[in-house]
A and B are shown apart, each in its own frame.
Chain A
């Protein structure tokens, strides 16, 4: 059981480039999330999805886009990368209802230079 899988683990981008962070879960979870974590800080929610075809903004959505075409996949797209997007990105998934555990991926380290 792989859980939540993120790729790539490390990436260096140049300012203005675009890329997609991939996230896949094999637990048939309805809810999926993207968080970013800056050094010494807690995680901030970028986007979330409650099911295929449904996405919504979190706390810090600017500069990012998401899609949810299947239950398993929740890719995060960075358009026109900026140095402020240098961060660690975590994908997570959960069954419905707040009494359930959220499972996190191992993270993707992104540097924009």
Chain B
């Protein structure tokens, strides 16, 4: 399974944008890039996903490099409720259950 690399932790101030990077140099052509986040004592929650083009939704934006070897999750205005562990995951598009393989993620701390 293709792996991702993320910083262990990042900090942000409330109301400021946050850019969470992810490297996935071994990504295959059929892998979708997914982002999930996990608040304390809860299950992972879907944030956004994409294949080749940049994506926007109500929660965040996903910027994907042209060679697809890296991506960045953008939270436009961080709030205290965005403090969580953010996982960048490659979802295997070639079959085999389309599994998600989790790394250790980035712990985002948001301060007033």
Q: Which residues of A are at the interface with B, using a C-beta cutoff of 8 A?
A: 31, 33, 35, 40-45, 48-50, 56, 58-59, 90, 92, 94, 96-107
Binding site for A on B (CB under 8 A): 30-32, 34, 36, 41-46, 49, 51, 87, 91-93, 96-105
**In the complex where A41-B104, A42-B103, A42-B105 touch, is A101 in contact with B98 (Cβ < 8 A)?**
no
Once the chains bind, are A101 and B99 in contact (CB under 8 Å)? no
- Chain B residues positioned under 8 Å from A102 (CB to CB): 34, 36, 44, 46, 91, 100
What 15 additional pairs, Cβ within 8 angstroms, besides A50-B97, A106-B42? A42-B103, A48-B99, A56-B96, A56-B97, A59-B101, A90-B43, A92-B44, A96-B98, A97-B93, A99-B32, A100-B98, A101-B49, A102-B91, A103-B46, A105-B43
A33 touches B32 (CB 8 A): no
Looking at chain B's contact residues, the main secondary structure is loop
